[in-house]
Amino acid sequence: MGRNVMIITGTSRGLGKFLAEYYLKNDFFVLGVSRTESSIKHKRYSHFLADVSEERSVMEFLFEINKKGISPDILINNAGIASMNHVILTPVHTAEKIFKVNFLGTFIMSREIAKCMIRKRWGRIVNISTVAVPLKLEGEAVYASSKSAVEMFTQILARELISYGITCNCVGPAPIPTDLLKSLPAEKIDHLVQKLVIKKCGECEDVAHTIEFFISQKSGNITGQTIYLGGM
């Protein structure tokens, strides 16, 4: 087996499901992680039920893959939730939930999977951010802040892990019509898209293409970066 064992979080739907199917087509072994079952059926796909924002749940997942002798090469921290609201109208529990999944989930998964990667002195971690971070739009204070935390975490993680041959980068997609966006008002999405260089929603393929660049064997000198899709 080459360096082709990939963990993707949030594979039960949306971008995560697309990425899992995309990399399965490209001969990767994909370990999907989400809180709910996956509909993906493939001989190189294994699904694990886990809540990435709960340390205990991630430890159990890690224990399972260790027991099976699986050693991950690539981690895509895709699991995330979105919510748009004026700060004054945002309940504390909503802010907590967003930070827990988006930031804490990325932190816990990165910490645990990096341990496996450190052992073999090679790894690729790609985290998902958003164009909402540089755009600083009204109504996205909590969501964009959680993703901003992911970006800063990625930059520092990159510094801490590069001596082990592990790179850490972020992709910041433009809005993609997935389940994540269903709850957001269409005019808000349009307002965001109008701020981009390319004034249209993004596609899952754009993200897969960028991830492919980051995880390439040839990208060992590319770390601590965020690529925003759609143009800033």
Partner 1 sequence: MNNDVLLLVYDALKEVFDLQDTHFKKPDRIDEETRIYGSNEYLDSLGLVTLVISIEGRIREKFNVSIALATEKAFSQTKSPFRNVKSLTLYIEQLLQEKMDG
| Catalytic positions | 143
- For position 55 contacting partner 1 by CB under 8 A, the verdict is yes
Virtual CA dihedral for 79, 154, 103, 136, nearest 10 degrees? -100
- For position 36 contacting partner 1 by CB under 8 A, the verdict is no
Decide whether 40 or 49 has the Cβ nearer to partner 1. 49
**Per-residue tokens: 50:** 């886990």
Binding partner 1 by CB under 8 A: which of 25, 42, 68, 115?
Answer: 115
Binding partner 1 by CB under 8 A: which of 18, 29, 52, 112?
Answer: 112
Decide whether 37 or 63 has the Cβ nearer to partner 1. 63
Binding partner 1 by CB under 8 A: which of 27, 89, 163, 221?
Answer: 163
Closest by CA to 100, choosing from 136, 60, 150, 59, is: 150
Q: Which amino acid is at 52?
A: V
**Per-residue tokens: 62:** 């890690």
Q: How far apart are CA 146 and CA 98, in angstroms?
A: 7
Which one of 14-22, 42-50, 58-66, 195-203 is the stretch in contact with partner 1 (CB under 8 A)?
Answer: 58-66
- For position 162 contacting partner 1 by CB under 8 A, the verdict is no
Tokens 């993703």 sit on residue? 147
- For position 60 contacting partner 1 by CB under 8 A, the verdict is yes
Binding partner 1 by CB under 8 A: which of 49, 70, 104, 118?
Answer: 118
What is the secondary structure of 101-159 as a DSSP string? Answer: IIIIHHHHHHHHHHHHHHHHT-EEEEEE--THHHHT-TT-HHHHHHHHHHHHHHHHHHH
- For position 121 contacting partner 1 by CB under 8 A, the verdict is no
Decide whether 163 or 217 has the Cβ nearer to partner 1. 163
Cross-strand partners of 8: 32, 76
Interaction residues for partner 1, span 164-203 (CB under 8 A):
none
Q: Where are the alpha helices (DSSP H) in 68-104?
A: 92-99
Q: Which residues bind partner 1 (CB under 8 A)?
A: 55, 59-60, 62-63, 66, 111-112, 115, 118-119, 163
